[in-house]
Amino acid sequence: MTALGTPGLDARLVVDRGIFRLDVALTAGPGDVVALLGPNGAGKTTALRALAGLVPLTDGHLRLDGAALERTPPESRPVGVVFQDYLLFPHLTALDNVAFGPRCQGVGKAEARALAAAWLERMGLAEHAGARPRRLSGGQAQRVALARALATRPRLLLLDEPLAALDARTRLDVRAQLRRHLAEFEAVAVLVTHDPLDAMVLADRLVVVEDGRTVQEGTPADIARHPRTDYIARLVGLNLYQGRADGHTVRLDAGPSLTTTEVLTGPVFVAFPPSAVTLHRERPTGTSARNLWHCEVAGLETHGDQIRADLTGELPLAADLTTVAAAELGLHPGTRVWATVKAAQTHAYPV
């Protein structure tokens, strides 16, 4: 797709691993941050390792700024990697970890250390320069790993689950910082994550991978609104159904019909967020909602300050309601309820 000499990444990664086959195409321009999002075992990390040269390609191609890299060994690729557990060299100080890359590239010792010091300064880690990785906190280690990867001036930055090793509190801070650093990064960044929030906050574009194949690609907003698989819908917290549209009515494959605001014909997806669902103990009479289904509560779980009800019945769906509302309704597993969704809150789009 990208012509020879065009800056950025143009890759089709095919890796055979026994019965598993990864086949993913990736393109990105300089400054782009692409997130590979997918469940465990989808092949995201394999894709990342293939980009870094740690796993050979079975087929396909890999061009970075127009240069073919398929046969280039990892040490000769202009690629920086932030590993999931960072893999900071435990016997080296933070400074020497960051200086490692420039030293390998032939920079003199003093110069490499000055360079490393500058990177640590930029990451706000100047006072930890002399610390061994063991003595760094998770967030600090993550930033040292990022500085180490960036210090080689890569044209492609790879991040493998950059926030997975952090606890929830640190994660928030580090995510914000990482977002800033990625925004400043002038070349292509590819990050791998199974956390949709990380992906949506950090990336300009998402590539959703399932079973080694790309199932959806687009901006975070686009994917959040128009999920095309159950996995993505669950990730972004949407109720997703496939059906056949005829005007405002969509006959769902799952059984009942659903009324939407869009006018479409043919196979479509219909999605609506759990917060759009209202639950009633009695069949509502005066409501304008035309989407009404009789369901049974299968499970309840706390979701932030809300309660998410997992419903089965006419139409399986997830509904969010306040704790007060849940208490007033007297919900418990097995309770039979009526669920309504306003047509205005549903969203239909062609398959």
Partner 1 sequence: MTSPHDTSAAVPDTLTGGPRRGRVRTRAARGAPLPLLLPALLGLAFLVLPLVALLVRTPWSSLSDQLTSPEVWQALRLSLLCATAATAVSLVLGVPLAWLLARVDFPGRGLVRALVTLPLVLPPVVGGVALLMALGRNGVVGKWLDAWFGITLPFTTTGVVIAEAFVAMPFLVISVEGTLRATDPRYEEAAATLGASRFTAFRRVTLPLIAPGIAAGAVLAWARALGEFGATITFAGNFPGRTQTMPLAVYLALQSDPEAAIALSLVLLAVSIAVLAGLRDRWMTAS
Nearer to partner 1, 154 or 243 (CB): 154
- The letter for the amino acid at 263 is V
Nearer to partner 1, 148 or 347 (CB): 148
Assess 282 for contact with partner 1 (CB under 8 A): no
> Which letter does DSSP use for residue 305 in this model?
T
Assess 14 for contact with partner 1 (CB under 8 A): no
Shortest separation between residue 76's beta carbon and partner 1, angstroms:
8
Q: Which residues contact 5 (CB under 8 A, 6 or more apart)?
A: 65, 66
Nearer to partner 1, 98 or 279 (CB): 98
Nearer to partner 1, 67 or 263 (CB): 67
Shortest separation between residue 194's beta carbon and partner 1, angstroms:
19
Strand partners, 242: 269
Give, to the nearest 10 degrees, the angle between helix 109-122 and helix 94-104. Answer: 130
Site residues for partner 1, 27-86, by CB under 8 A, read 52-54, 73-77, 79-81, 83
How far is CA 296 from each of CA 9, 156, 184, rounded to the nearest angstrom?
49, 50, 50
In which region does residue 334 sit, left (phi positive, over 0), alpha (psi from -120 to 50) or beta (all else)?
Answer: left
Assess 185 for contact with partner 1 (CB under 8 A): no
CA–CA separation, 6 and 263 (whole Å): 41
Shortest separation between residue 98's beta carbon and partner 1, angstroms:
10
Query: Which stretch in 20-28, 31-39, 60-68, 87-95 sits in contact with partner 1 by CB under 8 A?
Result: 87-95
Output the six-digit token pair for 81. 């990697």
Sheet holding 291-303, edge to edge: 277-280, 336-341, 291-303, 306-313, 317-322
Site residues for partner 1, 103-162, by CB under 8 A, read 104-105, 148-149, 152
Nearer to partner 1, 42 or 150 (CB): 150
Which x/- pattern, by CB under 8 A, does the window 89-108 give for partner 1?
Answer: xxxx-------xx--xx---
Shortest separation between residue 333's beta carbon and partner 1, angstroms:
10
Shortest separation between residue 156's beta carbon and partner 1, angstroms:
10
Q: How many residues bind partner 1 (CB under 8 A)?
A: 24
Under DSSP, is residue 114 helix (H, G, I), strand (E, B) or coil? helix
Assess 334 for contact with partner 1 (CB under 8 A): no
CA–CA separation, 73 and 70 (whole Å): 8
CA–CA separation, 169 and 115 (whole Å): 31
How far is CA 14 from each of CA 21, 62, 73, rounded to the nearest angstrom?
7, 10, 17
Output the six-digit token pair for 111. 């110069």
Shortest separation between residue 39's beta carbon and partner 1, angstroms:
22
- The letter for the amino acid at 312 is T
Rule CB under 8 A: which residues touch partner 1? Answer: 52-54, 73-77, 79-81, 83, 87, 89-92, 100-101, 104-105, 148-149, 152
